[in-house]
Every structure is written in structure tokens, then in C-alpha cells.
Amino acid sequence: MAELNERDTKLVQYLNEAYGKEKQLETALEAHIAMTTRAPYKKRLQAHLKETKAHARDVERRIKKLGGQAGGDGVVAAASTLQTAANKAAALATGPLHVARGTSEQEKLLKNAKTQLQDEAEEIATYTSIEHLAQLVSDRETAKLAKRIRREEERMRDFLSRLLPQLTKAVATEEIPAAERGRSPLVFTAHSVPVAMADASPYVAELTAGARAVAGRLGHARWSLAYQSRSGSPREPWLEPDVGDLLKALAAAGERYAVVVPIGFVSDHVELLYDLDVEARAIASAHGLALHRAAAVNDHPAFIAMLAEQPDLVLWQVGTNAIVDEEKPSEEGLLVRKGLARLRAEGVDVVLIDPQYVPKVIAKPGATTMVRVLHNAARDEKIGVFRRFAIMGHWRQAMRIPFGQFTSRDGLHMNDWSYGCIAELLATALLDATSTAVPTASKPTSDRTPS
């Protein structure tokens, strides 16, 4: 096989990423179809499975025509091989979860539909990137293929966006008795912060206004605002009530159901998946309260469209949770590369902020590998990196500052001092970038002293 030129090598790489995702979705769609009881929904899933298989065949043919190999071996296909393997692993790992997830049949359908919507958003981003790359390098055939598939994925996305409200209503109907729905309390949550910090900002006022607006839109009079994920010194006052304390109070008042709405978060990350779905749910269950959590906006198309219109710069903190959860660095790197490509396709500048150097991170064997993978992804995509891991490592190793001076008691989160120093360094780096190349911060320059 003839060696590919640089143009076709990059096209084959991106097409192979799309091919791997299509093969993953074949497995996921088959699992969804097997458990879906709604006839119209099942029919649309079956139709999309046919589309997905056709997409995989068409992309594979295009890869071969360019001189590449779909999921093949060799230097040219190395990145795509990793992608295909990661997607296959994800499909095999996710398959059983599609059946097990949720507390009822309707909630399983809802959660699967949300997963499908996320997959559609990822595919749309992938094919948008391929289409624009192909246009830039004058490959009209690849651009035409990517555009056609993207439009089919957009139609599926729109179908799922219309379906989600129906499935959500079905969950409420099935799990919360009609007599309870109108009066079950909504508990809006946001990350707690020190009271002194909150007093110097519009944080509480803006959260309260947002919660009031959502409750008003729903016509729901019973709502409250609580805080979660507290860290820092126990001697320092932080915003209250804590969500766990509020749930106990609701149960003591005779409530049987509560809906938690994480209004202060934009994605379902660890502080929702654990702090709410595990810890708060356990508290609620122990006190006889049925807890239902609303999803964060994640990559809902309307949210992504809003972001695409607004930001000039995205500061992306990435890698810490993946290290703690012992995710494979290669798989996390591929996801980050896709995210970077998606943001760049929207014309947004990005600065990656790598993981924090804290005990629970550096104790994991894959920590330094993850940092290196993230740096390589940023380098390849010509993205600036703010090296938080090196900065905090310098504090500990060169300056001999004890971990207790710049991390919280849980050994994972940063404390007020380290947040202040990192914010100062990052702001300085961003200001410097207005007149020079995007900098890479390596050492702390703050004259603050730990308290």
C-alpha cells in the first residue's frame, strides 16, 4: 500500500474516528431497541440503526479510496486503531448498563435517550470537523459525505430533543403519584463556597434568581436553594443549608418525594454522580425520602448552541476525575482531542488546565501519563496549556509546602489559598497572551503565603 501524504493521513485519521464511533453505536442501538417498549420510538431507533450501519460502510469505503484502512494497523492507522478499540470497549462496557440503569422502565428509556442525544452531539461535531477539514484541503467527495451524514445525525438529534420531554413526563407519571407531583419540593443545588467569598459577589443572588425563574417557568411554588460539595477548613463558615441537611428536614416534615436540580452545574461530573447520586440519595433513602435528580444540561444541543454564540475563550479543566477514576489515559486523550476539535470548529479559543497535584491524584499510577497525554493532545491541536500540575508539584517538591497548606482535607480538592494563587497565575498568563504567544505557566509567582 502506497504511503499516504499528509493531507490524506489527517483525513483518514478523522474518518477512522467517525468509523469507530459508528461501530460503537451499532451495539448501543441494538441494546436500546431490545428494551424499548414505545412503538414509535423503537421504529425510529431501528431506522437509525440502518442509517448507522450505512454510515459505517460509507466511511469505510471512503477511507479505502483515500488509501487508508478502517481500524487497520500501521503508523497511519495507529490513532484510529486506538479510537476503534476504545469505542468497542465503551460499547461492551455500556451495553449491560442500558438495561440496568434507572429506577423504572420509563427512567431507563429516558436515560438511554439522553445518552443517545449525547452520542448524536458527538457525531455531529465529528462530521462537522471532517467536513470543514475536507473543504480546507479541497477534498470535495469527503466533504459531501460528511455533510450528508451530519444532516442525518442532526435529524436524529432533533427527534430525541422532542422526545425527552415526553419521556420525562412518563417518569414523573410512573414514579411520583399525581397527587404528589404538584407539591413535591424542588431542591436547587450549587457548590458551596466560603461565606466571605459569597458576600463579596453576586453568587447567591444569581443562583436564587435562576432557581426562581426555573420554578416560575414550571409553575412550581415549592422550591428551595441548598449547597453541596463543601470543602475547606471546618472552622470557616460556608454557605448553607447543606443539601443533606435539607433533605433530612424535608423527610422530618413528612415529605415523601423530592426533586434535586443541580442548577449550579453544567455537566454530570463527579460532584453530581457521587455527591448527589450516591451520598445525597443515601441520606434521603435512610430517612424515607424518594430522591429524583434532574440531569445537568451536559451537551444538550440548545446549550451547545448558546455556548457557540457567546464565548471567545474556554478554560477547560480536565483530567483530574479521569485519573481518580482510573480511566485509561489513551481513551481520555481521544475524548479531549474530540472536544478540542469541536470547540475549534466553532471558532472558540481554548486553554487546557491540566490536573491538580494533590495526594489523591498523584497516588494513582496513571497520573503522570494522563498529564503527558493531555499535553500531547494540546500540542497536536496547537492549544495552550496552563500547567497546574507542574505549578503545584513545584510548591510541594521545591518549596516544601505541606499538602495541608494548599489542599482540602479530602486530599483531592484545592483550598482557598491555592485557588487564589492559581487564579492569579492564570490571569497573568492570559493577560500576557494578548501581546505574546500563548504562554505555558510553570512556576508560581504569587507572593502570597499559605495560611
Q: Find the helix or strand (DSSP H, E) in which 190 lies.
A: strand 186-191
Copy the grid coordinates of residue 157: 438529534
Residue 159 in this model has a pLDDT that exceeds 60: yes
Confidence of residue 178 (pLDDT cuts 50, 70, 90): low
Given this model, what pLDDT does residue 218 score?
86
Q: In what order do the strands lie in the sheet with 257-261?
A: 223-228, 186-191, 257-261, 290-293
H runs (alpha helix) in 201-280: 203-218, 243-252, 270-273
Inform me whether the pLDDT recorded for 447 exceeds 70.
no
- Angle, nearest 10°, between helix axes 105-136 and 140-175? 160
What is the rounded CA–CA span in Å between residue 438 and residue 416? 26
How would residue 324 be classed by pLDDT, with cut points 50, 70 and 90? confident
Q: What is the pLDDT of residue 82?
A: 47
Per-residue pLDDT at 258: 92
pLDDT value, residue 77: 42
Q: How confident is the model at residue 295 (pLDDT cuts 50, 70, 90)?
A: confident
Q: Can you name the CATH fold of 301-432?
A: Rossmann fold (3.40.50)
Cβ atoms of residues 70 and 60 within 8 Å:
yes
Nearest C-alpha neighbor of 97 from the set 121, 120, 115: 115
Please give the average per-residue pLDDT across 315-333, as a whole number.
88
Highest mean pLDDT, choosing among 17-21, 100-104, 180-184: 17-21
pLDDT value, residue 103: 57
Residue 157: CB atoms within 10 Å: 20
Identify the weakest region by mean pLDDT among 92-101, 143-152, 297-306: 92-101
Grid coordinates representing 158 are 432533533
- Looking at the domain 6-175, which fold is it? Ferritin (1.20.1260)
Is residue 249 classed as helix, strand or coil in its secondary structure? helix
The answer to whether the 6-175 and 301-432 domains have the same CATH topology is: no
Residue range 179-293, CATH number: 3.40.50.1400
Q: Tell me the average pLDDT across 186-202.
A: 90
- Least confident range of 20-29, 275-284, 299-308, 347-356: 299-308
Residue-range domain boundaries for the chain: 6-175, 179-293, 301-432
What are the φ/ψ torsions at residue 42 (nearest 5 degrees)? -60, -40
Give me the pLDDT at residue 434, please: 64
| pLDDT for residue 446 is more than 80 | no
One-letter amino acid identity for 395? W
Among the ranges given (168-172, 288-292, 400-404), the one the predictor scored with the smallest mean pLDDT: 168-172
Residue 116 pLDDT greater than 70, yes or no: yes
pLDDT of residue 124: 93
Supply the mean pLDDT for the chain: 84
Cα–Cα distances (Å) from 343 to 151, 212, 281, 320, 404, in that order, read: 19, 31, 34, 20, 36
Determine the pLDDT at residue 6: 83
